[in-house]
Amino acid sequence: MTSRRRVLRVHDGGHTTRPDTLTVEEPLEIRVAGKPLSVTMRTPGDDFDLAAGFLVGEGVVRAATDIHSIRYCAGATADGGNTYNVLDVVLAPGVAPPVASVERNFYTTSSCGLCGKASLDAVRTTVTWPVGGDPFTTGPATLAGLPDELRAAQRVFDRTGGLHAAGLFDADGKLLCLREDVGRHNAVDKVVGWAARDGKLPLAGTALMVSGRASFELVQKAAMAGIPLLAAVSAPSSLAVDLAAELGLTLVGFLRGTSMNVYTRPDRLGLQPS
């Protein structure tokens, strides 16, 4: 989703006024059975996938059958209108709601999905599908082509230059799903939610490519979805590397052209440390 604004363009000593296309950023409140759980700043679009992916990352949802329904809440405004910024997720009978240890100050920004996490213990959600034993392999040449594939599929970025992307690929480098959002973690949630709602979890034998850096939370989200390899065009954090090593997930950073840094499990790329 985009919006138009007028901007004063300064260039080569002169200036002109012209319209500019901007990425839309709006809050989304996620409720479970009517109880507020999370507020995140996101780019509207694929909101149901975003909600489902968020719940997968928190260990609440593991399959499409765990969700009974997702709907926008009518009457979200004082006059009874619908902002399309409030979602209510109804879990299937027998699926436990988020427990007290998971519930926290769930306000998140578009740049940081971890704001409000009480402790690292609360973040280290139990992984449903361990990725350490996944036999997935691919080649460095295939991995090197992912950034260009990701960029070519970013439709909104071409108009705004202001969106992150997450793309899911198979071992041959074929793009399976791409989602864009103003926040990196939201883009990943949208990919994972797409897979959850389509009955594709766990995502064994796949690679997740993200624009920007690789944070601890993105490693966690990949692992919670059963994805054995996470690649980013920028740097990972130290905690992201530690978690990837702990889980047996392959983590690649600075993936640009034919160069990359492989921080964990290089054997999946047919490589061994020298």
Is 73 catalytic? The answer is no
Which is the catalytic residue, given 73, 112, 115, 177? 112
Beta bridge partners of 181: 164
Encoded amino acid at 189, one letter: D
Distance separating alpha carbons of residues 256 and 235, to the nearest angstrom: 11
Encoded amino acid at 167, one letter: G
Distance separating alpha carbons of residues 189 and 26, to the nearest angstrom: 16
Exposed, middle or buried by CB within 10 Å (0-12, 13-18, 19+), for 103?
middle
Task: Using alpha carbons, select from 58, 21, 49 the residue that is nearest to residue 221.
Answer: 58
Give me 76's structure tokens. 């979200």
Active site residues: 112
